[in-house]
Amino acid sequence: MGYKIAVVGATGNVGREMLNTLAERNFPADEIFALASSKSIGRTVSYGDDTDLSVLDSATFDFSKVDIALFSAGGEAAKKLAPKAAEAGCVVIDNSSYWRMEPGVPLVVPEVNGAALSGYAKKNIIANPNCSTIQMVMALKPLQDIAPIKRIVVSTYQSVSGAGRAAMDELFNQTKGIYVNDLPQKEEFTKQIAFNVIPHIDTFMDDGATREEWKMAVETRKIMAPAEIAVHATCVRVPVFVGHGEAVNIEFDGPITVEEARKAMKAFPGVSVVDYRQDEGYVTPQEVQGEDNVFISRVRKDPTVENGLSLWCVGDNLRKGAALNAVQIAEALVAEYLPKK
């Protein structure tokens, strides 16, 4: 017997990718429900190569019909609907930021802290981390196992797909408009995104950081607990459609060599190291679209501290940064905690 699965936010970038990923990985599902807001009722979305699903209203859906619901419908929907689904006996895996720092809600990257899933039943809600956090901790975990990490300084180069379909449309339309001498209009971003970079993702906080930067710090500490890692992030939106890049500087509390770091990351599941000190000897966001792994390049010693390394980290933010990680959580959940009799 298989599982009954709902995807909430099925018409969005990540929701569609969740459906694709469930199909690609042959998740043991007997039935799939595609849910979205009332304005999407009647639309169809694809599941696999030959199945179209009619979109149902998430607000009125009976979640007792399903075993697991993958949510990617934003914080407000997660706030309202996730408890309703959980109370109906459905396990929620939520991609928004709403539940991530909630006590009793596991924040999980299966390769890094899969054991945290054991606490899922406290609320029947599991949180999927921020896209940039996921790919960074995938690189950090094998290094932390060699030498304790003290401090991280990270600059992100985040694609517009992380802000949704309308943001992707804005980049396309602005780029096209510049070439035909049509003044770019900005609606999704605070500045023109075409041929530009914007050091502003999410809202500003009192200390001058943005919430995206704050999320990377607090989420990293929760996932990597009990390690108390200091994280200072600068998050930047760049005119790329899919794929996030990160320049990560790491200070350790003990010695670690470049060779040890490369070896550990190569052996870690879900990480690929492509690191040649020559032209094209590194991976860029354009090359990782559709890829499941996180890719590491430019590993080198930081000579300004006693024990430091710098590296370049890229990943598909719609896959491992969101949909794939959520599906992997579901796979671990059914394997360990929700076996069908």
Residue-wise DSSP of 21-35: HHHHTT--EEEEEEE
At 8-58, the pLDDT tens digits run 999 999 999 999 999 999 999 999 999 999 999 989 999 988 899 999 999
Evaluate whether 232 touches 220 at the Cβ level (below 8 Å): no
Q: CA 256 to CA 307: how far, in whole Å?
A: 7
Encode pLDDT of 258-317 as tens digits: 999 999 999 999 999 999 999 999 999 999 999 999 999 999 999 999 999 999 999 999
Q: For residue 73, which amino acid is it?
A: A
**Backbone CA torsion sign across 313, 105, 6, 75:** negative
Could you give the CA distance from residue 263 to residue 242 in angstroms, rounded to a whole number?
28
Pairing of strands 271-273, 244-252: unpaired
- Terminal-residue alpha carbon distance, the chain: 8
Q: Which residue in this structure is represented by tokens 């298989």?
A: 2
pLDDT of 69 strictly over 80? yes
Q: How far apart are CA 19 and CA 196, in angstroms?
A: 32
**Mean pLDDT of the chain, nearest integer:** 96
Looking up tokens 């309202």 gives 80
- Residues with catalytic function: 131, 244
pLDDT of residue 341: 61
Distance CA 201, CA 82 (A): 25
Write out the two tokens for 309. Answer: 């390394």
pLDDT band at residue 214 under the 50/70/90 scheme: very high
As to burial, measured by CB atoms within 10 angstroms (0-12 exposed, 13-18 middle, 19+ buried), residue 170 is: buried
pTM metric for this prediction: 0.95
Please say if the pLDDT value at position 1 is more than 80: no
Alpha carbons 239 and 56: distance in angstroms, whole number? 33
Residue 306 tokens, joined: 């006693």
Number of H helices, E strands in the chain: 9, 13
Q: Quick one: tokens of 237?
A: 């939106």
**311-339, pLDDT tens digit by residue?**
999 999 999 999 999 999 999 999 999 88
Q: CB-hemisphere CA count at 13 Å for 153?
A: 7
Which of 97, 238, 229 has its CA nearest to residue 155?
238
